[in-house]
Structure 1
Amino acid sequence: MTGWTWPYEGYDPAHERLRESLCTLGNGYFATRGALPECGADDVHYPGTYAAGCYNRLTSQVAGREVENEDMVNLPNWLPLRFRLAGQHWLTPDTATVLDHRQVLHLSSGLLERRTRFDLGEGRTLSVRQQRLVHMADPHLAALRTEFTAEGFTGELEAEAALDGGVVNAGVARYRDLNGHHLIHVHTGTAAPDTVWLRCRTRTSDIRIGLAARLTTEVPIATRHEFPRAVQRVGLTLTPGRTVTVDKTVALHTSRDPAISDPLRAAVDRVGAAPGFDDLLDTHLTAWDVLWRRAALDVPGEAGDVLRLHLFHVLQTLSPHTADLDVGVPARGLHGEAYRGHVFWDELFVLPGLNLHFPEVSRALIRYRHRRLDRALAAARAIGRKGALYPWQSGSDGREETQELHLNPRSGRWLPDHSRLQWHVGSAVAYNVWQYCEASGDAEFLHTKGAEMLLQIARFWADAATYDESLGRHRIRGVVGPDEYHDGYPGAAQPGLDDNAYTNVMAAWVLCRTLETLRALPEPRLRELVERTGLDEGELEQWEDVSRTLHVPFHDDVISQFDGYGDLAELDWDGYRRQYGDIRRLDRILEAEGDTVNRYKASKQADVLMLGYLLSPSELQGLFRRLGHRLDEDVWRRTVDYYLARTSHGSTLSGVVHGWVLARCRGADAWTYCQEALRGDVADVQGGTTGEGIHLGAMGGTLDLVQRGLTGLETRNGALWLDPVPMPELSSYGFAIRYRGHWGVRLRLERGSLEIAVPASDRDPIDVRLPDRAVCVRPGETCRLLLAE
């Protein structure tokens, strides 16, 4: 990495899938993996194009059962452009001799550049340079420029461009036994001498898809249709030292788009009106310049380079174009098919950062949850509960998309999947509502859609909590916490755990924030809400009671991950590390041995410690006081050390959370976990998973670690709260935020000092609170503060 480029030298088939993921280009509406255009899907390459929110549902036979899955659909491939000397074999890096190969992702411009020199024998060399973009200004356009240069020969080169509708979802090996044929009714045609089109639809969701491709070159174009492909061929005369250029411009529309009649007609019209490659590049660059200014991040060194790559992929997945769509936060971006493109809780790690740069995008992503509130209400009713139960995995309509079986690749066995018991996802939705409204000052949203979601999530938690006479406390039973390894008690007939500390404490947090919101509502709006939801005073009293009496178990003077955790066996961590090396997926290792991780004090990722990630020390201590417990620094430090020694970090989110918590609790080892989080995808630390799609939550989390974690930045009570913690490895950094109508507020931390610059405007001054003082920074002012030791 060199500042604003992400280069790969040489052709390396073993790592091609990883490169394809990390070189994905997108614009928030759709994205295309960084596959080589001349290569089709095989064991090395996997071209894929995905439109946000484009899902389809299919049924498969698995382990003697019919299983239904909804997937983000791999759309027709617009990339294909292959080439060969006349009458010879098509050239690819897998079939020809490669002298040089270089692929560079240009972050500042959202441009993917590829250069390859092929040895054709007898002193002949063909140089191929390609530039690719997925347009950030017009979200329906993409373009590919290919330049051919002959060295040492004169000859005819055949080039073939295509739109390919014969694609399936096959990008994840463990899903290949499942039905992946999502596209039907593929038709192709010619719209103009230089333009072909392809239309199709998804099998069950009936989303219509239209693509059109225009080929621009200096020679005549021959078009033919070879089902399921629309093909354009040109014959190019090459002479030494002269470069011949072929430009391919593509438009994509689906029937989910607003303000269109027919997606095919829209695609044909759009590609026909699109300017040439150079003009497209100019407007694309302008759009990226705007994004980089709004999300400015200045972190020195290698960490800054990786953070810039992370920010690039967040912006490609969740751009300002996303604000016009009905989509959630896909856990693996628009970069591959892992997790089937589903929406989990990863917005918890992504939205706090977006709130302070692109609040309109955050609002749209939360509206995705609000539109599915009725589904969440129905899910709660289905298990005999009031309120809203949001799904662990969400897709098109908000029903629970978590599979009932999952494959352990190590043992080859299909196993019951109980992760749908992660009810804590509702607290994540509520947390995001609250954080967005505090950061943006969007009272209208909080008083309407936000209040409705908070009320129904709080209602669910209060109803899910049952009173235990012997404890004199409320308990939430039969859940799975963020850890995910533990989904039941050893030998128990039913899955689920009792009193997961994270679940219970965050449930109490939701109840407190909801009560606070309802008290602050204007009386007419409160009356409307009460009438619509049937809320009564008795229910509010119950919420107040439950918020003070939820059970939080302890053992050995630390917070228990769940009731009974202290009774589990200790694992021989050193022995398993000696035997297996990488034990991140300890659950799979133990299951393959005929054992279960449920028997051990072993976690996949942060669970109890998530509380220290989401809540500031003062807020967390206040919640525990409300619940009747004293959480002082010693108890929290013991808790952190206890779980640090018992976590395998089988999730990319684990490094983010542990780095954040350690930075605020004790500086030692914090940077180690921050580095682990930074390396997660670029080094593919989980061994092959990044090739199936990036981990968007971890990427967003590393950015937020710098923005909020190290600065202690909070937006609450109409003020900007800061409580920086020193980290020697990251002692100088800066970033810009958008806060309550102020655009481009700049914060910079140097050793021992904090600088805040507020751009000139007609907005009110910003109230800044530090642990030892409060300052008021007016528009047009720059304030430099010396920090207490």
Structure 2
Amino acid sequence: MTGWTWEYEGYDPADERLRESLCTLGNGYFATRGALPECAADDIHHPGTYVAGCYNRLTSEIAGRRVENEDLVNVPNWLPLRFRLVDGDWLTPETAEVLDHRQMVHLASGLLERRTRYALGEGRVLSVRQQRLVHMADPHLAALRTEFTAEGFTGDLDVEAALDGGVTNSGVARYRDLDGRHLTAPDTGSVEPDLVWLRCRTRTSDIRIGMAARLRADAPVTDRHEEARAGQRVRLGLLPGRTVTVDKTVALHTSRDPAISDPLDAAIDRVAAAPAFDDLLETHLTAWDQLWRRAELDVPGEAGDILRLHLFHVLQTLSPHTAELDVGVPARGLHGEAYRGHVFWDELFVLPYLNLHFPEVSRALLGYRHRRLDRACAAARAAGRRGALYPWQSGSDGREETQEVHLNPRSGRWLPDHSRLQRHVGSAVAYNVWQYCEASGDAEFLHTKGAEMLLQIARFWADSATWDERLGRHRILGVMGPDEYHDAYPDALRPGLDDNAYTNVTAAWVLSRTLDVVRTLPEPRRRELAERTGLDAGELEQWEDVSRTLHVPFHEGVISQFEGYGDLAELDWEGYRHRYGDIRRLDRILEAEDDTVNRYKASKQADLLMLGYLFSPRELRGLFERLGYRLDDETWHRTVDHYLHRTSHGSTLSGLVHGWVLARARRAAAWTYCQEALRGDIADLQGGTTGEGIHLGAMAGTLDLVQRGLPGLETREGALWLDPVPLPELSSYGFSLHYQGHWGVQLRLERGRLEVTVPHSDREPIDIRLPDRVVCVAPGETYHLLLAD
């Protein structure tokens, strides 16, 4: 990383999948992996293009059963552009000698550049330079400029460009036993030789896809079509030292797009009207410049460089264009096929960042959840509960998409997957509703769609709570927590755990917060909501009772991850590290040994400690007090220490949460975990997973660490609350915010000093609340504060 450029030097087949993910370009509508255009999909390369929300469902025969999966579809590949000397072989890094190779993402401009020099024998060298963009101003356009320069020879070069509809979802090795042929009925044609098109549709969801490409070069273009492939060819004359250029411009539409009649017609019209590459680049640069201004982040050193890359990929997945779509937060971005493009709870780590920069995007992402509220209520009824049960994995229509079996690559066995028992995803939806409304001041959303979601999620938790006469408390039974390792008690015949502390405490928070919202709704709206949902005073009394009596287990002076956790065996951590080295996926190691992680005090990732991520120390103490428990600093610190030593960090989110919690506790180890979170994808710490798609939640979470975690920033009660923590490794940083209608509020912390600037506007002043004082900053003012030690 050099400032605003992310660069790879040399060609290494083993790293190609990782580079493709981290060099992905996107605009919130679609994204294309950073694959070389001359290379087809194989064990090294996977050129994938993914349209937000474009899913398809297929059924496969696996382990003696029929398994149905819905996937984010790898749509036709618009990249193909290959080249060769006349009558020679097509040139790729696998077929020709590569003298030099560089691949660079220019973050400021959203431009991918590659430079390669191929040795052709007899002292001849072909230099190839490409610039690629996925247009940030027009979300349906992409373009590829290729420049060829002959070194030491004269000759003709054949160039073939194509739109390839013969692609499959084959980017994740462990899914390859499953059917990945999502596209059908390909058809190709030409408007003119320099403008070709391809159309197809998804096999079961019947989404029609239209793609059109225009090729311009300093030579005649001819078209040549094959099955599922719209091709174009041009022969270029090369002279030593003279550069010739080929520009390929592509338009992509699907039948899910608004304001079109037919996706193919729309694609043809759009690409025919598209300006030349230089003009496209100019409007693309302007759009990116505006994004960077809205998401301004100034962090020095290597950490700042990595954070800029993280922000780049968040903006490419969830841009202002996303606000026009019916999509959720794909856990692996639009960068690959891992997790099948599904929506998990990762929005819990993404929306808090977006709320304070792109609130219109946050509102749209919450709209995705609201449109699937009826489906969540149906899922609750099927489970014998009232309210809304949101799925652990969501796709097109909000049904549960979690697979019923999963493959352990280490043992080769297909195993039952019980992760749909992670019912806490509903609490994540509720948390995001509340955080968005507090940050944006969007009372209209809170009083309508937000209140409806909160009510049904609270109703589900209240109805899921079982009264235990012996304990004199309510309990939530048969669930899984965020840990994901533990899905049952040792030797149990049924999956599920009782009283997961994270689940119970967040359920109590949902009930308490929803009560506040319902009681403060405007009376006409409260009456409408009660009439539509059958809400009455008796149910509110039940919520009040459950919110104060949910059981939180303890053992040995620390909070238990779940009831019975303290009875589990201790794991020989050092022994397993010595035998296996990397034990992040300890569950797979133990299963391959015919053992189970359910027997041990061992977590994949932060579970209970997630409470310290979601809630400030003050709010967390208040939640426990409401439940009738005392949570002092000593108990919390003991609890943190207990789980620090019993977590394998098999998720990129784990280092982030631990770094956040330790920073708030002013612990010296915080930076170690923060660095792990920063490096999770760029160093591929999970061992090959980044090549299947980036980890969007972890990337957004590192941004939020700087935005909310270290400054102790909260948006509540109509004010910005700040309680900065000193982190020696990151003591100077600044960022901008969009807060309740104020655009571009600047906050900068410099070694014990805080500077707040509110731009000129007609808005009301902003209240800034610190532990020891309150200040009011009016539009057009800058306020300087010395922070208490």
TM-score, normalised relative to structure 1: 1.00
Partner Cα distance (1:75, 1:433) in 2:
32
Equivalent position amino acid for 2:357 in 1: H
Letter in 2 for 1:28: G
In the alignment, what sits opposite 1:551? 551
Counterpart in 2 of 1:41? Answer: 41
- The answer to whether the Cα contact below 8 Å between 1:25 and 1:112 also exists between their aligned partners in 2 is yes
Shift of 1:273: 0.2
1: CA distance, partners of 2:396 / 2:562: 33
Question: What is the one-letter code of the residue matched to 2:681?
Answer: D
Q: 5 Å matches for 1:757-776?
A: 757-776=757-776
Name the residue aligned to 1:598: 598
Secondary structure of the residue that 1:517 maps to in structure 2? helix
- Name 1:151's counterpart in structure 2: 151
Query: What is the CA deviation profile of residues 189-241 of structure 1, one whole-angstrom value per residue up to 9, with x for unaligned ones?
Result: 00123100000000000000000000011110111111110110000000001
CA distance in 1, matches of 2:408, 2:605: 18
Cα contact 1:83–1:158 (8 A) shared by 2: yes
The correspondence of residues 674-753 of structure 1 with structure 2, limited to 5 A, is 674-753=674-753
Residue 397 of structure 1: aligned partner: 397
Q: Secondary structure at the match of 2:8?
A: strand
CA deviations on 1:24-61 (whole Å, 9 max, x unpaired) are 00000000000000000001000000000000000000
Q: Offset at 1:489?
A: 0.2
Give the conservation status (yes or no) of the 8 Å contact 2:666–2:726.
no
Correspondences of 1:433-472 after superposition (within 5 Å): 433-472=433-472
Q: Which residue of 1 aligns with 2:337?
A: 337
CA contact (8 A) 1:660 1:670 kept: yes
Q: Does the 8 Å CA contact 2:348/2:432 hold for their aligned counterparts?
A: yes
| 3-state DSSP of counterpart to 1:682 | coil
Q: How does 1:661-676 map to 2 (within 5 A)?
A: 661-676=661-676
Distance 2:259 2:649 in 1: 46
SS in 2 for 1:432: helix
Whole-angstrom distance in 2 between the partners of 1:80 and 1:171: 17
The alignment partner of 1:375 has SS state of helix
| CA displacement at 1:666 relative to structure 2 | 2.9
| Residues 419 and 487 in structure 1, CA contact (< 8 A), matched pair in contact too | yes
* SS of alignment partner, residue 166 of structure 1: coil
Q: Which residue of 2 aligns with 1:116?
A: 116
Counterpart-to-counterpart distance in 1, 2:498 and 2:753:
46
Kindly report which structure 2 residues correspond to 1:530-569, keeping only aligned pairs within 5 A, or say none: 530-569=530-569
Equivalent residue runs for 1:139-178 within 5 Å = 139-178=139-178
Q: Given that residues 660 and 709 in structure 2 are in contact (C-alpha distance below 8 angstroms), is that contact kept between their aligned partners in structure 1?
A: yes
Which amino acid letter does the alignment assign opposite residue 146 of structure 1? Answer: T
Secondary structure of 1:480's counterpart equals: coil
**1:372-391 matched pairs, under 5 angstroms:** 372-391=372-391
What pairs with 1:6-45 in structure 2 (closer than 5 Å)? Answer: 6-45=6-45
Counterpart amino acid of 1:786?
L
Residues in 1 aligned to 2:191 and 2:528: alpha-carbon distance in whole angstroms: 54
Instruction: Within 5 Å, give how 1:352-391 maps onto structure 2.
Output: 352-391=352-391
Q: What do the CA deviations read for 1:88-111 (whole angstroms, capped 9, x no partner)?
A: 100011110111000000000000
Counterparts of 2:526 and 2:372, CA distance in 1: 22
8 Å CA contact retained: 1:555, 1:566 = yes
Note the alpha carbon deviations across 1:228-274, whole angstroms, 9 max, x for none.
Answer: 10110000000001100000000000000000000000000000000
Q: 1:330-356 CA deviation, whole Å, 9 max, x = no partner?
A: 000000000000000000000000000
C-alpha distance in structure 1 between counterparts of 2:186 and 2:493, whole Å: 48
Give the alignment of 1:605-624 within 5 angstroms: 605-624=605-624
Distance 2:753 2:547 in 1: 39
Alignment of structure 1 residues 118-517 onto 2, 5 Å: 118-517=118-517
Q: Is 1:667–1:727's contact at 8 Å kept on the other side of the alignment?
A: no
- Between the aligned partners of 2:668 and 2:426, the Cα distance in structure 1 is 33
1:44-83 equivalent positions in 2, closer than 5 A: 44-83=44-83
Q: Distance in 1 between matches of 2:431 and 2:541?
A: 22
Deviation at 1:119, TM superposition (A): 0.7
Contact 1:753–1:787 (CA under 8 A) maintained in structure 2 = yes
Runs of 4+ in 1 over 3 A off after TM superposition: none
Deviations 1:398-431 (A, max 9, x none): 0000000000000000000000000000000000
Is the 2:666–2:725 Cα contact (8 Å) retained in structure 1? Answer: no
Q: Secondary structure at the residue paired with 2:314?
A: helix
Amino acid paired to 2:460? F
Aligned-partner residue type, residue 406 of structure 1: H
The amino acid that maps onto 2:480 is: V
Is the 1:136–1:288 Cα contact (8 Å) retained in structure 2?
yes
In 2, the alpha carbon distance for the partners of 1:738 and 1:577 equals: 45
Number of the residue aligned with 2:570: 570
Query: 1:637 and 2:641 equivalent?
Result: no
Specify the code of the residue in structure 2 equivalent to 1:769: R
Residue identity in the other structure for 2:761? S
In structure 1, what is the Cα distance between the partners aligned to 2:687 and 2:601?
25
- Supply the distance in 1 between the matched residues of 2:672 and 2:58 (Cα, whole angstroms): 43
Supply the distance in 2 between the matched residues of 1:383 and 1:130 (Cα, whole angstroms): 54
Q: CA deviation at 1:667?
A: 2.2
1: CA distance, partners of 2:157 / 2:667: 61
Q: Secondary structure, in 3 states, of the residue corresponding to 1:54?
A: strand
Taking the aligned partners of 1:746 and 1:316, their CA distance within structure 2 comes to: 23
Q: Which amino acid aligns with 2:368?
A: Y
2:87 maps to what in 1? 87
Q: Distance in 2 between matches of 1:55 and 1:166?
A: 17
Q: Distance in 1 between matches of 2:301 and 2:100?
A: 28
Once the two structures are superposed, residues 427-448 of structure 1 have per-residue CA deviations (whole angstroms, 9 ceiling, x without a partner) of: 0000000000000000000000
Letter in structure 2 aligned against 1:578: H
Question: Would you say the 8 A contact 2:193–2:232 is kept in 1?
Answer: no
Deviates more, 1:314-323 or 1:663-672: 663-672
Q: Residues 107-132 of structure 1, C-alpha deviation per residue, up to 9 Å, x if partnerless? A: 00000000000111111110000000
Distance 1:263 1:173 in 2: 32
Identity of aligned residues (%): 83
State whether residues 55 and 395 of structure 1, in contact with CA within 8 Å, keep that contact through their aligned partners in structure 2. Answer: yes
The one-letter code of the counterpart of 1:462 is A
1: CA distance, partners of 2:7 / 2:764:
45
3-state SS of paired residue (1:541) = helix
RMSD (Å) for aligned C-alpha atoms:
0.4
Conserved 8 A contact 1:115-1:128: yes
In 2, the alpha carbon distance for the partners of 1:522 and 1:313 equals 40
What one-letter code is carried by the residue in structure 1 that aligns with 2:203? R
Secondary structure of the corresponding residue to residue 280 of structure 1: helix
> Is the 1:482–1:606 Cα contact (8 Å) retained in structure 2?
yes
- Provide, for residues 568-623 of structure 1, a one-character-per-residue CA deviation record: whole Å limited to 9, x for no partner: 00000000000000000000000000000000000000000000000000000000
Distance 1:191 1:311 in 2: 39
Q: Which runs of 5+ in 1 are unaligned?
A: none
The one-letter amino acid paired with 1:641 is D
**SS of residue matched to 1:293:** helix
Structure 1 position 753, deviation (Å)? 0.8
What is the aligned partner in structure 1 of residue 3 from structure 2?
A: 3
Secondary structure class of the residue paired with 1:53: strand
Q: Secondary structure at the match of 2:601?
A: coil
Counterpart secondary structure, 1:542: helix
| Cα distance in 1 for residues equivalent to 2:557 and 2:36 | 56
Paired with 1:483 and 1:138, the residues of 2 have a C-alpha distance of 41
Rounded to whole Å, the distance in 2 between the matches of 1:356 and 1:497 is 36
> Counterparts of 2:13 and 2:78 in 1: how far apart (Å)?
22
Cα distance in 2 between the residues matched to 1:615 and 1:694: 26
TM-score (normalised: structure 2): 1.00
Counterpart-to-counterpart distance in 1, 2:472 and 2:667: 38
CA distance in structure 1 between the partners assigned to 2:344 and 2:761 by the alignment? 39
- Contact 1:747–1:754 (CA<8 Å) still a contact in 2? yes
Distance (Å, rounded) in 2 between the aligned partners of 1:666 and 1:97: 53
